[in-house]
């Protein structure tokens, strides 16, 4: 292998390693704000067992059914770092508005 090829292989490995250390599955695109006249109730939650936290600063965000494209899809639970010590997680939910209900994604408050 010549020096140029070796450098390219090393560069590819070096850029791939940090990305492989932490993997979070992205769900469907967020459709926050989609107005629905009468939203159906979500299906029963999928039972998930939270694995041991990777560190004491991490918080388990339970899985939930996300409203997407006129139906619910399951988003698996995962760990997130609390943005500040007093932050609390607000789960995704329907919020009533003047012209129906709006889907609000889960977020830190």
Question: Which range marks the domain in which residue 67 is found?
Answer: 29-108
In-domain check, residue 4? no
Which pLDDT tens digits describe the chain residue by residue (109 residues)? 555 544 444 444 444 434 333 333 444 444 556 666 777 888 999 999 999 999 988 999 999 998 888 889 999 999 999 999 899 999 988 888 888 888 888 999 9
Question: What pLDDT is attached to residue 11?
Answer: 44
Q: Is residue 35 in some structural domain?
A: yes
State the total domains in the chain.
1
Task: Compute and round to an integer the Cα radius of gyration of the chain.
Answer: 20
In a domain, 11, yes or no: no
Task: Provide the pLDDT for residue 58.
Answer: 93
Answer whether 0.85 is exceeded by the pTM: no
In a domain, residue 8? The reply is: no
> What would the 3-class secondary structure string for 51-85 be?
CCCCCCCEEEECCEEEEECCEEEEECCEEEECCCC
Residue 49 lies in a domain: yes
């Amino acid at each position: 292998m010549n020096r140029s090829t070796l450098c390219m292989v090393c560069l590819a490995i070096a850029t791939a390693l940090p990305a492989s250390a932490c993997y979070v599955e992205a769900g469907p695109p967020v459709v926050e704000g989609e107005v629905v006249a009468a939203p159906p109730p979500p299906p029963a939650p999928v039972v998930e067992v939270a694995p041991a936290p990777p560190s004491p600063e991490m918080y388990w965000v339970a899985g939930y059914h996300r409203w997407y494209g006129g139906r619910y899809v399951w988003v698996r639970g995962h760990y997130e770092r609390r943005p500040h010590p007093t932050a609390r997680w607000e789960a995704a939910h329907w919020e009533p508005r003047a012209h129906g209900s709006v889907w609000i994604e889960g977020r830190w408050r």
